[in-house]
Structure 1
Amino acid sequence: MAGIYFHYPFCTQACNYCNFHFSTQLKNSSRIQQAMNKELYLRKDELNQPIESIYFGGGSPSLLTPSFFYETIKSVRDNFKVTSQVEISLEVNPDDVSHKYLTNIRKSGINRISLGIQSFLDCELKIMNRVHNVKQGINSIRLTSRIFDNFSVDLIYGIPESNLNSWTDNLDNLISFNPPHISTYALTVEPKTVLFHQVENGEVELLDEEIVKNQYDILNIKLEKASYINYEFSNFAKPGFHSVNNSNYWSGKPYLGIGPSAHSFDGNRKRSWNISNNIKYLNSIEKGCLNQSKEVLKDYEVFNEYVMISLRTTGIRFDRVKEFFGPSYCDYLEEQAKKHLMDRRLFWDGNVLKISRKARFLSDGIASDLFMLRG
């Protein structure tokens, strides 16, 4: 099985923490839409597996019209094998939501919505420079739940000036709507973002890491009590509502990335990514050419990705490590894991090496300790 991701690189306003490729100048939007569909056709032979996930992200793809989604989904069906239960997701900004828009995009073929709520506090939304306010966010959840059975809500923790009480209030608000899926992310400071410069200039003080960790712990406790399954570090779902797109990514399945800066993976060793420049992307695609960078992962890089993905999900299976990488990798991994087994950050579940709940927040650092460093 495989997936297709469409990256629409336009927003009406820049969130100060975002380092994704986007532009707030919409003048080339129509050309980009046409180019994405042309790129899809140019690359129709790259995926032989049936498509079980189509995902529209960005940027702000909810700026696009229902007719664009209808035509694009039709193009996918015309050029690829698509499963009967394909998940077709759209990232939606709360300020773009209306009953009419949701109804029309559902008719166009969208069957899952991902709402970028991020916070239920206006002061926090202002800190992040989000376009919408709390009232719009609440309204968007209510409207979406009436029209879509399958939807997700995004929330951010670790926001400057937040605390454990404000985070608990955020979670209580979210849980009261009982969304079938929740994605949560710690606010990170990425180079070249507005937030990065605000921190560098002393305009914004980052939250103490211990508070951020405690917020993540509260998140896990509250969502488990509310019957959510933590199937990946950042993702929680009610039974039957795991995101196919997320699950495919974290299990290493192939995907095709369409649009400026979009990444692709063949499910084995080959990665490619489109140029992160709208004009150069347009010039290439309109001439019938791709403007990409490519890499082929080495054995140790494939191993490191497996370690990272597995720790965030179901654990590192030693039978798979032995099968795909050989006994020497098992020996190396066992040696590297010793100190984390001693302090109970890692534990054995049969032949599967798993991370303890208390150490989940540290999963990236623990994974890096297990990496094989070989240039």
Structure 2
Amino acid sequence: MSGIYIHIPFCKQACHYCNFHFSTSLRLKDEMINAICKEITLRKNYLANNILNSIYFGGGTPSLMNADDLSKIFETINKYFQWSPESEITLEANPDDVDNKKLKIFKTYGINRLSIGIQSFFDADLKWMNRAHNSKEALDSIKVAQGEGFSNISIDLIYGSPTTSDDMWKKNIELALESDVPHISSYCLTVEEKTALFHQIQHKKTTAPDLERANIQFDALIKSLTSAGFDHYEISNFAKKHHIAIHNTNYWKGQSYLGIGPSAHSYNGQSRSWNVANNKKYIDSINKEILPIETEFLTPSIRYNEYIMTGLRTMWGVNSDEISVLGDMYRVHFLSNIVKEIDSGLVHICDDQYVLTERGKYFADRIAMNLFFVN
């Protein structure tokens, strides 16, 4: 089974922390939708298996699409790929775009999962982040989606913001649980270069995130959500039973996926490719039937390192037998270096699966780096 990711590179406004590729001008939207459909056609044979278990509309802000946009894209997908009502079809939405009319359109085209970018239920946080919605719209968007029959809803929350006190964060978690959504993705605020937030910190117009406070809030998140019956199945993701995200799990488990749209990445097990991160260049190239991609062929050491990085972040961990497929030298390297992490209480073994302990989750990136194979 495989997945398709479709990048819709448009937003109403730029969030201060965001480093994803997007444009705040919708001038090229119609041309972009046509180019996306054409790229699907050009790359219809990229995946070895044309049966899809997931389609994911990310961005940017996919909820800016209208019925005509979705009709064109799904008509093209249906020409070359198969998917069923059981397939996970996710669309990222901003709260200010969520209304009854738009939700009915989404359901018409088979979208059965929403990922709503709440980020916070507090206006002070949302204003600081430069989000387009307010706290009332955040709460209302969930209720309206549930009222239209969407039961598979994920919400995003950000912790570690300088404006978010520990009490505010606990209230965010409380409101998320009261909303009765079955999936929550929560990310620590990070400062990326070439973002407005990076510029503001550099010029002392705002304060940098406090890592100690972020860890306290991460701890509160884990305890609250696991106590409420959520599985902490990936460092940043929590799900109730039967609601683990299929599309993102494909990424973490090394399944093939096709990325469509500017800046989108694709992976087929042997190589990774990515599209140009420029809307006009992307459209012009696709219209000439030239794929605007760069490709990296993955050596065994790169595949090993990626398996370690993604696998350790999940509740499934990593398996030494799967590492052996890449070559026995990688298995030997892994087993010799994992010992100190086990002795430190950061990793435990369960049926030859090496999984981070609760304490180890705070050091996931550092542990992975210690296990990397460097030529």
Would you call these one fold, judging by a TM-score over 0.5? Answer: yes
C-alpha distance after superposition, 1:218-255 (max 9, x if no partner) = 11110011111111111111101111111111111111
What pairs up with 1:1-375 in 2 under 5 angstroms? Answer: 1-49=1-49, 50-147=51-148, 148-266=150-268, 268-313=269-314, 314-322=316-324, 324-374=325-375
**Stretches of structure 1 lacking an aligned partner (at least 5 in a row):** none
Runs of 4+ residues deviating >6 angstroms: none
CA drift of 1:163 comes to 2.5
Rounded Cα–Cα distance in structure 1 between residues aligned with 2:198 and 2:369: 24
CA drift of 1:354 comes to 1.4
Letter in 2 for 1:93: N
Letter in 2 for 1:364: D
Q: How many residue pairs are counted as aligned between the two chains? A: 372
Instruction: Check conservation: 1:10, 1:22, Cα contact below 8 A.
Output: yes
SS in 1 for 2:114: strand
Letter in 2 for 1:128: M
C-alpha distance after superposition, 1:70-112 (max 9, x if no partner) = 3312221211132452111100000011111111211122111
Instruction: Check conservation: 2:92, 2:114, Cα contact below 8 A.
Output: yes
The answer to which of 85-94 and 342-351 deviates more is 342-351
CA-atom RMSD, angstroms? 1.2
The answer to which of 13-22 and 82-91 deviates more is 82-91
Rounded Cα–Cα distance in structure 1 between residues aligned with 2:373 and 2:48: 32
SS in 1 for 2:86: strand
Rounded Cα–Cα distance in structure 1 between residues aligned with 2:364 and 2:66: 39
CA drift of 1:160 comes to 1.3
Rounded Cα–Cα distance in structure 1 between residues aligned with 2:258 and 2:307: 20
SS in 1 for 2:342: helix
In the superposition, the TM-score normalised over structure 2's length comes to: 0.97
Instruction: Check conservation: 2:33, 2:73, Cα contact below 8 A.
Output: no
Instruction: Check conservation: 2:305, 2:372, Cα contact below 8 A.
Output: yes
Instruction: Check conservation: 1:67, 1:108, Cα contact below 8 A.
Output: no
Instruction: Check conservation: 2:10, 2:24, Cα contact below 8 A.
Output: yes
Rounded Cα–Cα distance in structure 2 between residues aligned with 1:242 and 1:146: 22
SS in 1 for 2:91: strand
In the superposition, the TM-score normalised over structure 1's length comes to: 0.97
Rounded Cα–Cα distance in structure 1 between residues aligned with 2:166 and 2:136: 22
Instruction: Check conservation: 1:269, 1:297, Cα contact below 8 A.
Output: yes
SS in 1 for 2:22: coil
Rounded Cα–Cα distance in structure 2 between residues aligned with 1:255 and 1:137: 31
SS in 1 for 2:87: strand
Letter in 2 for 1:164: D
C-alpha distance after superposition, 1:22-46 (max 9, x if no partner) = 1111111110011100111111111
C-alpha distance after superposition, 1:177-231 (max 9, x if no partner) = 1101111111110010000111111112123212111111111110011111111
SS in 1 for 2:209: coil
Instruction: Check conservation: 1:2, 1:255, Cα contact below 8 A.
Output: yes
Letter in 1 for 2:130: N
C-alpha distance after superposition, 1:326-363 (max 9, x if no partner) = 33222211222232222211122232211111221220
Rounded Cα–Cα distance in structure 1 between residues aligned with 2:276 and 2:139: 37
Instruction: Check conservation: 1:69, 1:109, Cα contact below 8 A.
Output: no
CA drift of 1:4 comes to 0.6
Identity %: 42
The answer to which of 338-347 and 171-180 deviates more is 338-347
Rounded Cα–Cα distance in structure 1 between residues aligned with 2:208 and 2:336: 36
CA drift of 1:288 comes to 1.4
Instruction: Check conservation: 1:171, 1:219, Cα contact below 8 A.
Output: yes
